[in-house]
Structures are given as structure tokens and as C-alpha cells.
Structure 1
């Protein structure tokens, strides 16, 4: 069911799924792609390949058709844990991403600020989107670990 806040229509996060090309597992903890859709926890998605995560992708897909398609993404970059703020700087964060409108020959590149604050990215696709993929093009390097983290991605639509 859609809802409305401040004149903007949005879709509830439990109506979409997220998958990634890789996920990091450390001991009993898996930093899965589904974490980016859960704003009730502060556990990020963390890519699980060697290197800095450039080229890794996250796919977000709605489980039903959207009236007008996706409008924007709200992104919380890095490992943002307010009880352990040092984790933000210890891990890589996204610096530049490409967002693909799957099913159409459309994509947009975005520069991401190096801040643990939500950032809004207006997609501006010409065609109605239901499935998007986000590819990591560049990262801000962490001071301790070479893992790239994204805490949340909230897709919004009208």
C-alpha cells in the first residue's frame, strides 16, 4: 500500500526486495542486501569480494507494479552505527554510483557525499521503473578495512 507524507507518495519497504552480487559474512553475521531496506536496524549491506567493492551491484525490485515508477532514492552511506561512530571511517563508503533502470536503456550517475547523513538522489528516468540496479563506480577508502558499506537505500515513488 502506498502512503503519503508532505505531498510525496512513497511505497513501503516491505513491498520490495534487495539482492546483491556479493555479501560479506563474518562468523555468524551476514551483511546481506536486505539490510538496506530495514531502517529499524543499523546493520549495513557490505560487499563480500576482495578489493574495494568497485563493480558490485545491488538490485531493488518492487513485488508489484508501480503507478508512476520510482522517483528517488534516499541513501544512508557507509556503516552508520550511532553507538559506534568510528565504524563509518573504518570502512569504505560509496563515492560514485550508477543507477540502471532495468528493462530500459537508461542509467544515471551520482556523486555521493562522504557523510553519515541521508542523501536524496532524484532518478529522473524517462520510463517508469520498477527494478533498478545500483553499481559501485568509486569509493571513499576506509582507514582500517577495505569493505564497502551502505546502511540504507529507501526507494520512493509517486
Structure 2
């Protein structure tokens, strides 16, 4: 159990390093459809006129004025807006974070797993980037008065369910954290992180770095095994990137210090994929015990 004050902390949306994750699903569509929801994109009002009109060139090169008819406008609006309003309402396709991904263990044991796919794009994807995560407790957040349910659906509730999911460990925010979600200290639990380059030094902020009190109250990883991973494929989707056919490039064990501060580790030489991205997996082998709770956390991993 993590301290109640930590549970009440207002977490941001999805990671800053990939802001599209919680918003991309509707942002790009709502922007591209702006003209369909605003007649000013199709017609301009002439100066001094209270009627929408446009100038067309008729036969013989003569200019003629075509006035818009109310009935025509109503039909035009009904025909254009209805399908796009439906698309707008259906734009958000995220889901709640529910369970971890057991396939990760198979990948680490066998060195490769052709069938495993990880999606990086919308709320809910975070649940597959770790073998487990701590479920959010208490009441979900209250919606703001201006919250657009039609546009955003249950995105705010879904984001809350992912409070301690994998993405929190690489969102460039030290005040959020991934927490394993099994009984006990989480020995053997694994977190996958997306990096700039796994062959470069890797910075890790263990424990719950939000405060010294929470850092001491919860477990911190002590010994870890870190794997460099590479997906054979990365494919763009409408709402993010899909990585598939994973393999292990190298691995090494490290003993981390019990400090609420950054630590740096370096994996053996390897060549990450230049096209599919760079990733590592962190497996918990032992922990520094917390004074109050038996949950193990990692706040941030980056390079």
C-alpha cells in the first residue's frame, strides 16, 4: 500500500515525451475537421454584407454573385457535420489499465518472442509494458465542468487507472512512478522502458522520488538485471506506434545504491535498431525494504 497522500497527488496526463498518447487520438482529427465545423472555411462574408456569398465567373467572363440560400445551408451543414461529429465522438479509443503482460517473461527467458506486440499511443497501452503494476485505489477523479465527454470519452478515468503503470517510469517526470503490482516486494517483476539509445549510459531514479518520506516508506530496487531489447518491426498506426517481434540484445546485473537521486548504469556494447527504436527491460532481483509499504517503485529511467 502506498501512502494516501501519494494517491491523492494529481498526476499529469500521458508522458510528456509522447504527448500524443492521451490526446493524439482526437487532436489530429478535430484540427483537420475544423473547416467542416466552421462555414468560414468555405465561405467568407463580404465587407458590408450580412449575407454569405462568393463570386463566380460565368460564361463570357462576366462575374456574377451567388447568394447562399438558408435551405441549402441547412442541408449542407447537416450533410457535412453529421458524419464528422460522429467521428469526433468516436475519436478517443483508449481503455483502462487492467492487467500486466506475462509475455515479457517469455521474451527474457527465450531471448526472443515473435508474437509479442507493444503499442505506444493511447491510454491503456501502458499496461502491456510491465509484467504488473499497482492498481489505483480510492475514488476516480472528478471531472471539470468544461470536460468534453463526447470528445474525450472516459479518458480521464482511464488515465487514473494507469496511475502507476509502466509509462510513468519514462514520462520525464520524477514525481510519477511505476509500481509493481504483485503480493510482496515484486521480485522477478519486469518493466520495459523506451529510451533514446540503450547503448549510451542510462540514468535511473529508483523508489518513489516524489518525497523523501515516500522514498523511505516504499521499497526500492537493489539488485536488477537490465536487458537491451530490440523489436524487429515498428509500424505507424492512426494513434501511435506498434512494435513487434522482440529479441534480447544483451543483459547485465547491477547493484543500485539506496539513494533518492539519479544513478547511472552502462550496458555491454550492443547495436540498437536504427529504425525500430531503443528499449530496455529492468527485472527486480532484490530490494531495499520500505519502512511502511511492501511495494517496489521506479520513478524515472532515461538517457
> Do they superpose with TM above 0.5?
yes
Q: State whether structure 2 residue 130 is matched by structure 1 residue 20.
A: yes
Give the corresponding residue for 1:71.
200
From the superposition, tell whether residues 151 and 125 of structure 1 become closer, same or farther in structure 2 (CA, over 3 Å): same
Q: Which runs of 5 or more structure 1 residues have no equivalent in the other structure? A: 1-11
Match of 1:151 in 2: 299
Residues 206, 300 of structure 2: 8 Å contact kept: yes
Q: Distance in 1 between matches of 2:296 and 2:264?
A: 19
- Deviation per residue, 1:66-102 (Å, 9 max, x gap): 7x753121011100114xx211110000001101123
State how far apart, in whole Å, the 2-side matches of 1:44 and 1:133 are. 16
> How many pairs were matched up?
138
Flag the 1:150–1:69 CA change in 2: closer, same or farther, 3 A: closer
Question: Which residue of the other structure, out of 123, 128, 142, is the alignment partner of 2:272?
Answer: 128
Q: Identify the residue that residue 109 of structure 1 maps to in structure 2.
A: 253
Write 1 or 2 for the structure with the bigger share of strand.
1
Give unpaired runs (5+ residues) of structure 2. 1-15, 20-118, 121-125, 141-159, 230-246
Higher relative contact order (CA 8 A, sep 6+): 1
Task: Please say which structure displays the higher CA radius of gyration.
Answer: 2
More helix by share: 2
Match of 2:168 in 1: 35
Distance in 1, Cα, partners of 2:248 & 2:132: 24
> RMSD in angstroms over aligned alpha carbons?
2.5
Q: What is the TM-score of this pair, normalised by structure 1?
A: 0.76
Contact 2:170/2:194 (<8 A) preserved: no
1:98 to 214, 219, 225: 225
Aligned residue for 1:35, secondary structure, equals helix
Mapped contact 1:101–1:125 kept (Cα < 8 A) = no
